[in-house]
Amino acid sequence: MNKSINDLKKLPSIDSLLLEPQLATVIAPHCLKVEAAQEAVDDCRKQILQGNTPQNGITDVIIVDTIQRLKAKAQPSLREVINATGTLLHTNLGRAPLSEAALQSMNTVARSYSNLELNLETGKRGHRYSHIDTLLCRLTGAEAAAVVNNNAGAVLLALTALAQGDEAIVSRGELVEIGGAFRVPDVMEAGGVLLREVGTTNKTHLRDYKTAINDNTGLLLKIHTSNYRIVGFTDSVPAAEMVALGKQHKIPVMEDLGSGMLFDLTPFGLPKEPTVKEGVAAGIDVLTFSGDKLLGGPQAGLIVGKKWAIDKIRNHPLARALRIDKLTLAALETTLSHYLDEQQALDEIPVLRMLNMSTESLEQRSHDFKEQLQQRVTQSCTVEIISENSCVGGGALPITNLPGTALALTPLQLTPDQLTNRLRSAQQAVVARIQEDRVIINLRTVFPNQEVTLIQTIASSLQQKNN
């Protein structure tokens, strides 16, 4: 104990510590230096009290620790992650990466002033929707369009504008919860819309909607079940039949498509998903979908449909609270413009590129990657090529797997958990999955220009000493 007290006296003051040349020359905000030094001294004090006085000189140990802490503090909290999970749309990883052209548009609009709400022809006040509504109508065949901050906001706004105080009829099979606590009944309640459930979990028929219609019915609502599927003995009512029923009773029909695709994905071996165009053609009054799911753009909630309904939505006070910002709008306009040419969309939009990556090219990349990685990790890891499916994720095509190839790493001196922890906390963070005690690296979601860094990060994570 006496020894500890003696050692405690050797702890440097923060002021003297910051004057040490190794720290004085580090360029960092003073407040961060003080914070890092304080933490390092506190930690050292704890170690001493536990009888673990550092052997190499107390001040030296604290300096090294302070520099380490400063490095961590100086890193931005929100930063790039290499997604080696193979899941294309990972809400925790920020969903869709943007196209190069979308990034450039954001950059241009961000660094200067813009005509966000100015009509350059007339010099009068314009509207931010004007930058995407023509494009959205052209792509979907809709009469009018609006856009807000995200699809949850789009659903809330549309429900509120169209059916506040009224009943909306929804199939029990569609009352879903989507990741991040978007629950359809809760959103309806927030919008002041009364939920009228019809049908059963697995089957809902047109007659169920018909018998539920009454004087208070304000909306027939259809919701894409996104992240789950009921399989087997199921039935739901096609959009066109709901539209016919709505017309008969003068009740609007709304559909929340969730992911929302602008063209048919079946040529790429994916299952049939309703496209926005089909919904519009079926006569649905309002359709909502996300900007950052399969569309491959920035976070946004897109709303298309009949002019009367879109006008009501645009003019609702809630629209102002949910409005899209100019950077998102710039990225969205450019992303949507890629869709004017399907081939361009497939080439330019990263999510579609990954979705459309051939099994052969993924296999070739995996083999090349294996060869390069193996040279670096012969002593610390075995590397195998395996068949692995990727998920689309993000509430899109929930049960669809994209067949392909991946690498399976078996670390020799670490557990798989230790390796994935190190990969996450590396200078360039990497997120990978563990499967059957192996760390899986799926290159479908890794950009080719990230491969060199990925190899370096895996190699150095395997080599680091155990602590």
Q: Whole-number minimum distance, CB 252 to ligand PLP, in Å?
A: 18
Amino acid occupying residue 333: E
Residue 319 near residue 157, CB atoms below 8 Å:
yes
Q: What are phi and psi of 113, to 5 degrees?
A: -90, 165
Supply the minimum distance, in Å, between the C-beta of residue 258 and ligand PLP.
Answer: 3
CB of 332 to ligand PLP, least distance (A): 12
Residues 6 or more apart whose CB falls under 8 angstroms from that of 436 comprise none
Choice between 165 and 179, CB closer to ligand PLP: 179
Residues at the site binding ligand PLP, with contacts judged by CB under 6 A: 150-152, 155, 178, 182, 223-224, 226, 256, 258-259, 290, 301, 395
| Helix intervals (H) in 250-306 | 276-281
Question: Residue 455's closest CA among 380, 376, 385?
Answer: 376
Minimum distance from CB of 3 to ligand PLP (Å)? 59
Rounded least distance, CB 443 to ligand PLP, Å = 26
User: Which tokens belong to 326?
Assistant: 């100019």
Which of residues 151 and 420 has its CB atom nearest to ligand PLP in the complex?
151
Q: How far is the CB of 256 from ligand PLP (least distance, A)?
A: 5
Instruction: Kindly provide the b/e burial profile for residues 213-222, where b requires at least 16 CB atoms within 10 angstroms of the residue's own CB.
Output: beeebbbbbb
Q: Which residues are bridge partners to 410 per DSSP?
A: 382
Which position's Cβ is nearest ligand PLP?
258
Comparing CA positions, the residue from 96, 99, 95, 89 lying closest to residue 338 is: 99
Can you list the positions of beta strands (E) in 62-212? 81-83, 144-148, 167-171, 177-178, 182-183, 194-198
In this structure, the number of other CB atoms found within 10 A of the CB of residue 32 comes to: 14
Of 254 and 377, the one with the shorter C-beta distance to ligand PLP is 254
Nearer Cβ to ligand PLP (289/369) = 289
Which distant-in-sequence residues (6+ apart) come within 8 Å of 412 by Cβ? 379, 380, 381, 382
> Of 199 and 258, which CB lies nearer to ligand PLP in the complex structure?
258
Give the burial class of 168: count Cβ atoms within 10 A of its Cβ; 0-12 exposed, 13-18 middle, 19 or more buried.
buried
226 or 457: CB nearest ligand PLP: 226
CB of 176 to ligand PLP, least distance (A): 7
Indicate the residue among 86 and 258 with the shorter CB distance to ligand PLP: 258
Secondary structure of 352-401 in HEC code, one letter for each residue: HHHHCCCHHHHHHHHHHHHHHHHHHHCCCEEEEEEECCEECECCCCCCCE
Burial of 385 (0-12, 13-18, 19+ CB in 10 A): middle
| Minimum CB distance to ligand PLP, residue 268 (Å) | 20
Token pair of 386, please? Answer: 């395996």
Task: Give 83 or 450: the residue with its C-beta nearer to ligand PLP.
Answer: 83
Question: Which is closer to ligand PLP, CB of 309 or CB of 441?
Answer: 309
Longest alpha-carbon distance in the chain? 91
Q: Name which of 66 and 226 has its Cβ closer to ligand PLP.
A: 226
Q: How far is the CB of 209 from ligand PLP (least distance, A)?
A: 19
Nearer to ligand PLP by C-beta: 49 or 327? 327
Tell me how far, at minimum, the Cβ of 223 lies from ligand PLP, in Å. 6
CA atoms within 13 A on the CB side of 363: 8
* Residue 163 Cβ vs ligand PLP, minimum distance, rounded to whole Å: 16
CA 148 – CA 135 distance, rounded (Å)? 16
At 310, list the tokens: 């879109």
